[in-house]
């Protein structure tokens, strides 16, 4: 390739049409993408909250009360209703139960 041709070839390559105005399009597309991202995040957050709520409700519906708590509640109920008075009299009496018979 002759030098003059090489120079001309490169000069021709460097000659490009005037750059079209792109800035407004860039900003418009950025705003659009941001809005899309916000919508997606909001949708994802809503889904997460909904799923967590459903899971929590399901768990609290199926959860069994532990045996110790049941027993404790039953003893409180007996105490409040006075059902255990006889038992207590027996437990704390100084004389034998036989006396009452």
Partner 1 sequence: MKELDEITIRRAAKKDQQAFRQVYDYYSLFVWKVIFRTVNGDTEAAKEVVQETFIRVYTSLGSFGFNSALSTWIYRIAYNTANTYLSKKKSKRLVDGLDVDLLVDGKTKENYENKEIVEALLSAVSPEERFLLMGREVEGISFEELARITGKSSEALRTLMSRLKARLRATYDNLNQKK
Q: How far is the CB of 67 from partner 1 (least distance, A)?
A: 57
10 binds partner 1 per the rule CB under 8 A: yes
Q: In this chain, which stretch among 20-28, 45-53, 54-62, 75-83 interacts with partner 1, using CB under 8 A?
A: 20-28
CA distances from 91 to 22, 81, 94, 97 (A): 93, 18, 9, 9
Q: How far is the CB of 38 from partner 1 (least distance, A)?
A: 14
12 binds partner 1 per the rule CB under 8 A: yes
Identify residues 29-48 at the interface with partner 1 (CB under 8 A). 29-30, 33
CA distance 94 to 101: 15
Chain residues in the site for partner 1 (CB under 8 A): 1, 4-6, 8-17, 19-20, 22-23, 25-27, 29-30, 33
């Amino acid at each position: 390739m002759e030098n003059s041709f090489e120079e001309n070839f490169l000069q021709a390559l460097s000659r490009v049409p005037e750059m079209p105005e792109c800035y407004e399009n860039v900003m418009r597309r950025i705003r659009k993408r941001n809005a899309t991202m916000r919508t997606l995040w909001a949708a994802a957050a809503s889904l997460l909250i909904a799923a967590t709520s459903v899971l929590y409700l399901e768990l609290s519906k199926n959860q069994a009360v532990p045996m110790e708590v049941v027993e404790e509640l039953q003893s409180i109920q007996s105490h409040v209703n006075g059902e255990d008075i006889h038992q207590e009299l027996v437990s704390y009496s100084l004389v034998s139960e036989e006396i009452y018979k």
